[in-house]
Every structure is written in structure tokens, then in C-alpha cells.
Amino acid sequence: MKHVDVAVVMGSQSDWDTMQHAANILTEFDVSHGVAIVSAHRTPGRMNEFAEKAADNGVKIIIAGAGGAAHLPGMIAAQTTLPVLAVPVQTRVLGGLDSLLSIVQMPRGVPTAAFSIGAAGAHNAALFAVSQLALNDERLREALSAYRARIAEEAVAPELPGAPLLLTEWL
């Protein structure tokens, strides 16, 4: 089985709309990654096996997304010392606050890193994984700097139709 640096896991097929944003960033940065559905509640045995074997399979970082009673990231963290980056998936009934609160209050000694709810959280979790890998990878460090430069440029691009005076001329 091929080794990957980052494993992106989620509790359900329905989480993919959100978690694909993490996979897209990893693809953009050319970081090896794989995805799997492992549910803390529906397939606990599969989740245990995944968590116990992840480090031996060469995985360095796990990104785990779940919604509602979102126990997946914490339960994975309980069974591995690899860093677990948790993404609270937005839910229809409670908007994802349920996911966030299920994820964020881990007991002392078993941490996960928690990101914001939804697609932006998945996006940022992947960027965070890239920055962790970049500690030992010059190519990724440079790619992250280029990414930051690009989003800074996009943030100030003057697309304000009808605006009277663009003050950016002062800057």
C-alpha cells in the first residue's frame, strides 16, 4: 500500500462536500494524501484499526472531519500520537455549532487542533498540515510563501465597480 503524508478522514460520505476542500489544498501543494470514510459511531472497529495503523503506514498528520456528535477526531487522537487536525462539519439542524462543541473540549492529555466550521476550516486544516510538513521541507516553505503573496494580492485587487476614489493609490 502506498504511503501518504496526510490522511483525510471523515465520518460520512455527506462530509465530502466540506472535506474535499482539504484534499484540494493538499493536491495544490503536491502533498501526498489519501482519503477514507471511517465513522466513530457506525464503523468503530474500522476507525480503531485506521488510527492504530496510521503511524506504521507512514502517515504524519491526520485531518479528521465530522458533523453533529462529532467524536471522530477525538477518538482517533485517543489511539494515536500523530497530530490530529479536526474540522467541524456544518450541520443542517444546529449549523455546525454542535460539531464544533463536540470537537473542541478535549480532555487534558489528548489534544486535537480544532479549525473553523465548514469549508474554510477544511481549507485551513490542510494549509496547517502543509505548514507542519514545511518545517522540514524547503519546497513547501516556498510554496506557502507564494500562496500568501497570492492571497494578499487578491485581497486588495480593486474590483469595486462604481467606487468614487480608490484610496489604494495612497498605499
CA dist 153 and 150 (Å) reads 5
Residue selected from 21, 31, 33, 39 as contacting ligand RP5 according to rule CB under 6 A: 39
Q: Using the rule CB under 6 A, give the single segment among 47-55, 62-70, 125-133, 160-168 that binds ligand RP5.
A: 62-70
Using DSSP's 3-state secondary structure scheme, residue 168 falls into helix
What is the torsion angle, in degrees rounded to the nearest 10, for the CA atoms of residue 107, residue 79, residue 94 and residue 122?
110
Burial of 29 (0-12, 13-18, 19+ CB in 10 A): buried
Q: Does 15 bind ligand RP5 (CB under 6 A)?
A: yes
Residue selected from 68, 73, 96, 118 as contacting ligand RP5 according to rule CB under 6 A: 68
Task: Identify which of residues 72 and 130 has a Cβ nearer to ligand RP5 in the complex.
Answer: 72
Task: Identify which of residues 99 and 132 has a Cβ nearer to ligand RP5 in the complex.
Answer: 99
Contacts with ligand RP5 in 96-115 (CB under 6 A)?
A: none
Q: Does 14 bind ligand RP5 (CB under 6 A)?
A: yes
C-alpha cell at 148: 500568501
Contact 91, 59 (CB under 8 A): no
Shortest reach from residue 53's CB to ligand RP5, in Å = 21
CA 57 to chain CA centroid, Å, is 20
Shortest reach from residue 12's CB to ligand RP5, in Å = 3
Task: Identify which of residues 90 and 132 has a Cβ nearer to ligand RP5 in the complex.
Answer: 90
Amino acid found at 133: L
Q: Does 66 bind ligand RP5 (CB under 6 A)?
A: yes
Residue selected from 4, 7, 8, 12 as contacting ligand RP5 according to rule CB under 6 A: 12
What ranges in the chain are assigned the alpha helix state H?
A: 16-28, 44-54, 72-77, 97-104, 119-134, 138-155
C-alpha cell at 99: 460539531
Number of residues that bind ligand RP5 (CB under 6 A): 11
